[in-house]
Structure 1
Amino acid sequence: MSYIQFDKKQLLDLSYSLNKEIIRSNKAGAYSSTTIVGCNTKRYHGLLVAHQPGLEGVHVLLSSLDETVIVNNASFNLGVHKYPNEYNPNGFVYMKDFSADPIPKSTYRMKNVVLTREFLLVEHEERVLVRYIVEQATEEITLRLFPFLAFRNVNQLLRADEGIQPGISTVEDGVSIQLYPQYQELFMQVGNNSKFVSQANWYYNIEYPEDLELGAPYQEDLYVPGYFEVKASKGDIILFTGGPDVIKAGNLLRMFNNQTRKRTARSSFENCLKVSAEQFVLKTRSTPEARKYDRTDVIASYQRYRRGGRDAFIAIPGLSLVQDDLKSFKAVLDTMLKYRKGAFFPFWKYNDSQVTYEAIDTPLWFFWALQQYTHRLGDRQAVWKNYGKAIREILESYRDGTEYQIKMQDDGLLSGSEDGIALTWMDAYIDGQPVTPRAGFPVEVNALWYNAVCFALEIAGPRSTEGKKVLNDWKGMDEKIKKSFQKAFWDPKKGYLADLISLDRKNKDWSVRPNQILAASLPFSPLSDTQIRSVIEVVKKELLTPRGLRSLSKREASYQGNYRGTQTQRRLAYHQGSVWPWLMGHYVEAYLKVAEREEALPYVISLYRGFEETMSEHGISSISEVYDGDAPHAPRGAISQAWNVAEIIRTGKLIEEFDKATQPVSL
């Protein structure tokens, strides 16, 4: 039995099964995603979603592949689409079960026929492979495959268009089609002596319920140029492929088997995390002919294809742990440095032209990521040689003042403020205005700032020109910042830290938020052990859930416990109560700093293992973007979030290292 499997009863309940999604990606930057019953419920879904030369972002080429099985003149359509007021066809009624290990596998039963369907993406190609096996059949069947084509960016929707190029070219064992001239041809092939029957149709007003709930456009028309038809009997294997060029159909089975062997079985919680982590690191070449990868990015989440410095720096330490992959770790840091502007690192919202740099904390997360890299590499001299110049420049930029009024003040604390811009990780917007602007002195920014200065002083090479300058210019600044931090943010009566101090320092925001846990967890903490324990107790009482930390205490008037509804409703809840799993890593790290072995290990292990339940909750074998602040803490947002997966992996490593370090000594 598969580690993650769903039975017929679960599949028939659409209120249950339509909320379970699968995501598969490859090293070419393509992905495939849908629900476990094969019904696309959002514009991001598609069987083949890939890059296109000269176009930005990723594009849904093949939205779905519908199957019709004909047995003794009776037709069974296995596809599932949502139309106004109905699902049609309703192929989910024929599903017997669905499993996710090692690749997605759906089993269908129709009369005396049992058919299995599996799909995967080829590792280094923007190509999908679909394999059908006739497991049972008392007579010959006919299988028809209908490709639903979109040829559009993932953030758009297609409507019936007379401007398409509907012409089909015949290729070996299949056809090619290019709906629009700016796109590549899509080559679709089927082995087993199949034939393609041209029968062009538009399927109108297919609906995406997830987009409807968001208040976004939610209907589109998809183009089906015809269908592949093949005869099959018990034991036969039929393979379909869609990709950017023609391949030998006779090689499809060998290709499918070779690709399957490369997959890590999702046979345990740890393996699920490992496979999920691998999907976020994307290596690309500037040209197809280039011998080396010249860019390594962290995809922030699926299916939203966003990239940026903050996500990369928070996520890559944990993502690279699964293979102890220091090469990719360094490649991500180096890629971000290529795009650095002054102190700042980029965030690409959807594609390379939509890039922003406003983030006060991202450069400081770069220091934290570099700390993790240095710890694992064990060679401070090499790290300083490669990154010392960037370290010095960022520190000096923040000290002297830069964009967004970011500047170190006379007492060493760091402030930033820009009307209409959210500078911290709490960066949701409504109508162009930040929900939580947090202008002034944010607590986690100053904790990160202190950590960055301490790390720079620790790693600076005293024999290098850069190192001497850092050691001379910043000597004693660490103690100054620590003293100022304590005075500004700590209240001994309350027993926790202010979340924000206004720019003029006249007001302090004492809302209980999780940002203070970073002051306790970072390698260089400005807090005493007693203060760390106090912060942990407040965070545990007010914010801790089985899925991470709430972004705001339930006691606050602006608390929003459910991340649902329209985009506006969701943004109001995003950092005002929604639970963020990545913060669990920092909670556990802070806890292990000050706890005794006997009490700590069972507790933190239970927190870590609690995430095993999420493997079948929303994004199958991954961890979702956010969870409701209110119980039962339902999964919401993107189905697979990089820094969440990364920090739960790192949590497991922290526990392992703590266990080894605190083992009783045998006499």
Structure 2
Amino acid sequence: MSYLKFDKNLMINLEQSLNKEMLRTNQAGAYHCSSIVGCNTRKQHGLLVIPIPELGNKNFVMLSSLDETVIQHGAPFNLGLHRYQGGVYSPNGHKYIREYDCETVPRTTYRVGGVILTKEAVFISQENRILIRYTLVDAHSDTTLQFRPFLAFREANDLVVQNNRLNQDFTEVDNGVGFCLYPGFPTLYMQFSQKAKWVSNPNWYNGIEYIKDLERGIPYTEDLWVPGYFEIPIKKGESIIFSAGTSEVKHRSLSKLYETEIAGRTRRTSFYNCLKNAAKQFYIKEGKEMYLTSGYPWGSIRARDTFMALPGCTLAIDHLDDYHAIMGTILKALNNYIDNEMLDERIHGIDLPDIPLWCIWAIQQYARYQGIEAARKEYLPEVARILDWIIAGGHPNLAVETNGLVGTTGTNTPVSWMNATSNGWPLIPRTGLLVEFNALWYNALMFASALAADVPGYEKRRDEWTTLADEAKPAFIDTFLNEHGYLYDYVNGTYADPSVRPNMAVAIGLDYSPLDRRQRKGVLDVVTRELLTPKGLRTLSPKSYGYRPFYVGSPQEREQAYHNGPARPWLIGAYADAYLKVYGHSGVGYIDRMLIGFEDEMSQNCIGSVSQMYDGNPPYSGHGAISQVSNVAEVLRTLRTLKKLNM
């Protein structure tokens, strides 16, 4: 039985099926994303969405969708589905769906009278090409298929309106046609594995609506260009492969290309395999460089997300080479920043003050997986260089204070992961001494000292790191630990922010914490009581002022809620580390049960992945990006930790 299979009763119920989305990527920045019934519900959805470097570091929807029509005895049965103005769905092809299976590749089974047709989609790795294989499983009379492409040729966050600027000309190619609607775009080639008749019948399809954008209070209606349709007869037992890409392909190669691609796929037959598959979808390879993108269907390559997610997306799934490749790329960018050299324009936020601290944390995780000797050999010089740079005052917004703690300025610009803004100003102006910054700082000093132990030439630096850590430890306790047993979120001069936030979980989950076991347990109790949900830790306690648990409403309302209540799954990694440090092996069962909430998510929202955030109150609905790198990574890392403890 498939782990991710949905029957016809769910598929024909649009209230349920439209809220479930699927995602496939090519590990080069392109993706295919839609609802499981094939009705696009976001402007970022599309059958082929690709980066076009010549037009900037953005994604562009080339082919929005492809409507299939089954023709028997001259009667057409359209399998497509779109929502039009007024909430009208047409042509209601979902009523023919009998099953949707996403174990290896997305596979939809249709039944139209005596016709049984399957559709399977696969993205070609490292190539802007999607293949769809149609197989006529059963038919009692002659059958013809029609394919009607809906073209967008637009940036993924924009919308198209009917216009006369587009180029209607097309090029005939091997078993297909090519279109380039606007200057600057590549040509989109649509081809088949066997002879296809192209019928030119250009029309605008006006008033297509995206209900997820409607719910978010942003523009949600567009017009799409349909230049005509393909027509192909198909016999019982026969398969036809459709290709959409930015380069031509030989039609005879499509079958082999399809089979080669699916041979290396991870079958999503378990919770772990789903997350492993999701983790690899964040990989982006560009020449010799390798990155992690922050999420889909929107997101970018961000330094903080990369370091936070790197261990879970590589080491936790035994992809050691990918860890080194991605770490090599991001470390080069960080070193360029340290040396005031040209920055990697693909990576955002390399200048933020906590980036070097998360970098050392990511290296520390490598030491946990591969041993401290391996980490020492690979990364000791990098760790030492980063710490020396911070201590010397090299970072413009991370300064070592006289008490050994580190301070930063976040009054005018967000400096931490809690970076929501309103009119350009931080909604949570965390400034001065931030709790997770200083916990990471202490942890970095202690880890570096352990890494450099007995290494010739590092004696003086190790003494300096140890001395700083000895100063920072009591200062941390005096600064952050309050009489209520939890940690202030940030302290700026005489002001100590009393908000109960999950950043304190980072402080108690690190390998080297300034707090002793009793103090950790006290903080853990508060986190468990006020912040823990089945979907991660709330960003603010319900008892704190300004709690907004639901990420809904207008863009302004959602901004206000962003870090003031909704739960973030990635924080479960720090929470699990803290819990296991306090309770040891006796806590394994509890953490294992806690992960059930995430396993339930595999069949919700983006199937097989984890959303960006969840409401802080029941029913804990998912919101934001449908697949988020740090969330997937930290759940994977927690699973791996449990596995090691159970061995």
Same fold (TM over 0.5): yes
Residue 560 (1) aligns with residue 548 (2): yes
Change (3 A) 1:32 1:338: same
Quote the offset at 1:345 in angstroms: 12
Which residue of the other structure, out of 289, 292, 295, is the alignment partner of 1:295? 289
Kindly indicate whether residue 140 of structure 2 is the aligned counterpart of residue 112 of structure 1: no
From 459, 473, 480, the counterpart of 2:471:
480
Which amino acid letter does the alignment assign opposite residue 604 of structure 1? Answer: I
Q: What TM-score do the two structures reach when normalised by structure 1? A: 0.92
- 2:243 is aligned with 1:255: no
The answer to which of 626-635 and 193-202 deviates more is 193-202
Q: How does 1:569-588 map to 2 (within 5 A)?
A: 569-588=557-576
Judged with a 3 Å threshold, the aligned counterparts in structure 2 of structure 1 residues 396 and 473 are, in CA distance, closer, same or farther, namely farther
Aligned pairs, number: 643
- Shift in Å at residue 548 of structure 1? 0.8
Which residue is 2:166 aligned to? 164
Whether the 8 Å contact between 2:43 and 2:213 is mirrored in structure 1 is yes
- CA RMSD between the two structures: 2.2
Correspondence for 2:643:
656
Mapped contact 2:610–2:627 kept (Cα < 8 A) = yes
What amino acid is aligned across from residue 637 of structure 1 in structure 2?
G
| Structure 2 residue 108 is matched with structure 1 residue 121 | no
For residue 496 of structure 1, what is the amino acid of its counterpart? Y
Residue in 2 aligned with 1:48? 48
Shift of 1:361: 1.7
1:325-474 matches, cutoff 5 A: 325-340=319-334, 342=337, 352=345, 355-378=348-371, 380=373, 383=376, 386=379, 388-389=381-382, 391-397=384-390, 400=393, 402-404=395-397, 406-460=398-452, 467-468=458-459, 470-474=461-465
Q: CA deviation at 1:87?
A: 1.4
Residue in structure 2 matched with residue 59 of structure 1 by the alignment: 60
CA deviation string 1:466-493 (max 9, x = no partner) = x3552253341111100100111112x3
| Cα distance between partner residues in 1 of 2:236 and 2:629 | 42
Query: Which residue of structure 1 lines up, in the alignment, with residue 486 of structure 2?
Result: 496
Give yes or no for the alignment of 1:197 onto 2:199.
Answer: yes
Deviation, structure 1 residue 305: 3.1
The secondary structure found in structure 2 opposite 1:40 is coil
1:131 to 130, 133, 142: 133
Give me the whole-angstrom Cα distance separating, in 2, the residues matched to 1:580 and 1:279: 20
- Mean Cα deviation higher: 624-633 or 410-419: 410-419
- CA deviation string 1:528-558 (max 9, x = no partner): 0001111111111101111111111111120
* Partner SS for 1:337: helix
1:626 corresponds to? 613
CA contact (8 A) 1:277 1:645 kept: yes
Give the conservation status (yes or no) of the 8 Å contact 2:612–2:625: yes
Structure 1's consecutive aligned runs of 4 or more residues displaced over 6 angstroms after TM superposition are: none
In structure 1, the residue matched to 2:304 is: 310
- 8 Å CA contact retained: 2:356, 2:386: no
Q: Contact 1:139 / 1:233 at 8 angstroms: preserved in 2? A: no
Contact 1:381 1:461 (C-alpha < 8 Å) held by counterparts: no
Aligned residues of 2:191 and 2:242 also touching (Cα < 8 A): yes
8 Å Cα contact 2:34/2:40 also seen in 1 = yes
Q: Distance in 1 between matches of 2:299 and 2:496?
A: 37
Does residue 610 of structure 2 align to residue 609 of structure 1? no
1:618–1:197 Cα change, 3 Å: same
How far, CA to CA, are the matches of 1:221 and 1:585 in structure 2? 44
| Contact 2:308–2:358 (8 Å) recurs in 1 | yes
* CA deviation profile, 1:306-355 (whole Å, cap 9, x unmatched): 11111011101011135412221122222112222545999x9xx94794
User: Is residue 503 of structure 2 the alignment partner of residue 515 of structure 1?
Assistant: yes
Q: CA deviation at 1:461?
A: 6.8
Q: Which moved more, 1:386-395 or 1:172-181?
A: 386-395
Work out the CA distance in 1 between the residues paired with 2:563 and 2:338. Answer: 26
Alignment-derived partner of residue 288 in structure 1? none
In structure 2, the residue matched to 1:663 is: none
* Structure 1 contact 79–91 (Cα < 8 Å) conserved: yes
Tell me the secondary structure at the aligned position of residue 476 of structure 1. helix
Name the aligned partner's letter for residue 605 of structure 1: D
Once residues 395 and 589 of structure 2 are traced to their aligned partners in structure 1, the CA distance between those partners, rounded to angstroms, is 46
Tell me if the contact between 2:313 and 2:633 (Cα under 8 Å) persists in the aligned partners. Answer: yes
Deviations 1:501-528 (A, max 9, x none): 11x2x12112111111111111111010
CA contact (8 A) 1:514 1:550 kept: yes
2:130–2:244 contact (8 Å) kept in structure 1:
yes
In 1, the alpha carbon distance for the partners of 2:465 and 2:574 equals: 27
- State the one-letter code of the partner of 1:495: G
For 2:53 and 2:403, how far apart are their aligned partners in 1? 51
Separation of aligned partners in 1, 2:370 and 2:364: 10
Shift of 1:417: 1.2
- Alpha-carbon offset, residue 122 of structure 1: 1.1
What is the rounded CA distance, in whole Å, between the counterparts of 1:591 and 1:534 in structure 2?
11
User: 1:100-137, CA deviations, whole angstroms, 9 ceiling, x for partnerless residues?
Assistant: 11111111122221211111111232110011111221
- State the shift of 1:584 in Å: 0.8
What amino acid is the match of 1:494? Answer: H
Question: Post-superposition shift, 1:421?
Answer: 0.8
Q: Aligned partners of 1:269 and 1:326: how far apart in 2? A: 21
Task: Report percent identity of matched pairs.
Answer: 40
1:200–1:223 CA contact under 8 A, matched in 2: yes
Per-residue deviation, 1:40: 0.6
**Structure 1 residues 605-633: Cα deviation after superposition (integer angstroms, max 9, x where no partner):** 11123321000011100111101000111
- Is the 8 Å Cα contact of residues 462 and 471 (structure 1) preserved in structure 2? no
1:33 aligned counterpart, secondary structure: strand
1:272-283 aligned within 5 A: 272-283=274-285
Match of 1:153 among 141, 152, 155: 155
Correspondence for 1:71 = 72
Q: Distance in 1 between matches of 2:105 and 2:571?
A: 30
Q: Offset of 1:357 from its aligned partner?
A: 4.3
CA shift for structure 1 position 161: 2.9
Aligned residue type for 1:105: R
Deviations 1:377-424 (A, max 9, x none): 3354764665525643454335526424x3111001111114321111
The answer as to whether partners of 2:531 and 2:539 remain within 8 angstroms in 1 is: yes
On the 8 A contact 1:21/1:619 being kept in 2, the answer is yes
8 Å CA contact retained: 1:280, 1:299:
yes
The answer to whether the 8 A contact 2:380-2:452 is kept is no
SS at match of 1:217: coil
1:590 matches 2:578:
yes
Instruction: Name the CA shift for 1:283/1:443 in 2 (closer, same or farther; >3 Å).
Output: same
The answer for unaligned runs of 5 or more in structure 2 is: none
Within 2, Cα distance between the matches of 1:109 and 1:417?
61
Range 106-115 or range 364-373, more displaced: 106-115
Residue 51 of structure 1, CA deviation: 2.3
Range that drifts further, 411-420 or 633-642: 411-420
Unpaired runs of 5+ residues, structure 1, are 286-293, 661-667
Residues 344 and 359, structure 1, Cα contact 8 Å, conserved in 2: no
Instruction: Report the CA distance between 1:58 and its aligned residue.
Output: 2.0
Contact 2:442 2:473 in 1 (8 A): yes
